[in-house]
Structure 1
Amino acid sequence: MLPPRTTIFPRQPVPSLILPLAGGGEFDLSGMQAESFHLLVFYRGRHCPVCKTQLGALQAQAGAFAERGVTVTAISCDTKDRAESAVADWNLPDLRIAYDLTPEQARQWGLFITATRGKTSLGLDEPALFSEPGLFLIRPDLTLFFSSVQSMPFVRPRAEDMLAAIDFIKKNDYPPRGDVI
């Protein structure tokens, strides 16, 4: 049995997270440096066609995020082979892809967990358990600024909308919202 989902509130510290990276190396959120924000995009995995589209859009805007001082990392419960296959097959050379997220870690981030339902429209088997999508915009001090957590694979924040929001936040010194506990 998995632990219950945790709710992370804006202005509160986010959970620690250390995972391997596709292509080698390690993602350690606590050791990451960002001028403006860290953007963590939790995706369902290599089996998901909506994830392919979302990560492709992030790839296309990788330079725009970097210009704004935003580090971008995509994270899934995929294995090393599936993560590296996504990087190659989806043409994601500029995205940092972390893998081996456990369902327990996903719950710490407030993500929903799904059990396999077999093959997807891409013809790939779903993993036994995997997280549903989530997006977290995190300040350099590792406190949450914004989150979007979903129980379904559809209707995700678009890269262009995130860039516009980041511009607005920076220009207007806009504060986090939803922080009343």
Structure 2
Amino acid sequence: MYTQKMHPAATFPEVSVTLSTGETVSLTNKEEGCDWKMVVVFRGKHCPICTKYLNKLEDFTGRLREMNIDVVAVSGDSKAQLDEHLDELSINFPIACGLSQSDMEKLGLYISEPRSEKETDHNFAEPALFVLNSDNEIHIAEIANAPFVRPDLEQLVSGLEFIRNPDNNYPIRGTLKS
């Protein structure tokens, strides 16, 4: 299956998911005091690389919060799979499940079939990361087709500190249309 990628500066689409608390929210909802949002799409409970990445992301949430950037992670897992996954995670940021295949397609994600029933019981999104500005426009997008490709968190957060500094007046990159 081929996907239609979303472009930088495009408005992030409306996608509702279920938080680990059971609450249904939009991925663009921002916690009070935050005007930007980081949406981290992970493959699911079956992926040990995802677990490691999410646990590492926790180390950066303080710096992100200082920049008024809210964070949410989401997968296509079921609520039961997410509940099991929580045992392996040491995170305090919101995590959600229930990303539908149609929403994966809407977000322009690469989607994989499980290699076997031991992996998981549903098609799943490969990793992606979006940073949305105060207008819910895509300021940064990273869409991968394999679990091994993810943004280096230190470099990403340092870059966001540069972008969020008003003295730098840093625009959304990659918007040239020929």
Query: TM above 0.5, one fold?
Result: yes
Whether the aligned pair in 1 keeps the contact of 2:5 and 2:109 (CA below 8 Å) is no
The count of corresponding residues between Structure 1 and Structure 2 is 174
Task: Work out the CA distance in 2 between the residues paired with 1:179 and 1:87.
Answer: 38
Match of residue 136 from structure 2: 142
The SS at the match of 1:148 is strand
Runs of 4+ in structure 1 over 4 Å off? none
Residue number in structure 2 paired with 1:114: 112
Letter aligned with residue 146 of structure 1: I
Q: Which amino acid aligns with 1:39?
A: M
Report the secondary structure of 1:54's partner residue: helix
Identity value in percent: 27
The one-letter amino acid paired with 1:27 is: V
The one-letter amino acid of 1:63's match is: G
Q: Give the drift of 1:30.
A: 4.5
Matches within 5 A, 1:159-178: 159-171=153-165, 172-178=168-174
Superposed displacement of residue 95, structure 1: 1.7
Looking at structure 2, the residues matched to 127 and 44 of structure 1 have their Cα atoms a distance apart, in angstroms, of 12
Of 110, 114, 125, the residue aligned with 1:131 is 125
What 5-or-longer segments of structure 2 have no aligned partner? none
Matching of residues 40-51 of structure 1 within 5 Å: 40-51=39-50
Deviation of 1:74 (Å): 0.3
Q: 1:103 aligns with which of 101, 104, 112?
A: 101
The separation in 2 between residues aligned to 1:10 and 1:139, in whole angstroms, is: 11
- Alpha carbons 1:83, 1:99 under 8 Å: kept: yes
Give the equivalent residue in structure 2 for 1:18. Answer: 16
CA distance in 2, matches of 1:139, 1:159: 18
**CA shift in 2, pair 1:150/1:75, >3 Å:** same
1-structure distance, mates of 2:28, 2:52 = 28
For residues 105 and 135 of structure 1, the distance between their equivalents in structure 2, rounded to whole angstroms, comes to 15
Normalized against structure 1, the TM-score is what? 0.88
TM-score by length of 2: 0.90
3-state DSSP of counterpart to 2:87? helix
The whole-number CA distance in structure 1 between the counterparts of 2:61 and 2:69 is 9
Moved more, 148-157 or 28-37: 28-37
**Structure 1 residue 36, shift from structure 2 partner:** 4.3
Q: Alpha carbon RMSD of aligned pairs, Å?
A: 1.7
Can you give the 5+ residue segments of structure 1 that lack an aligned partner in the other structure?
none
CA distance in 2, matches of 1:67, 1:108: 30
Please say if 1:54 is aligned against 2:23. no
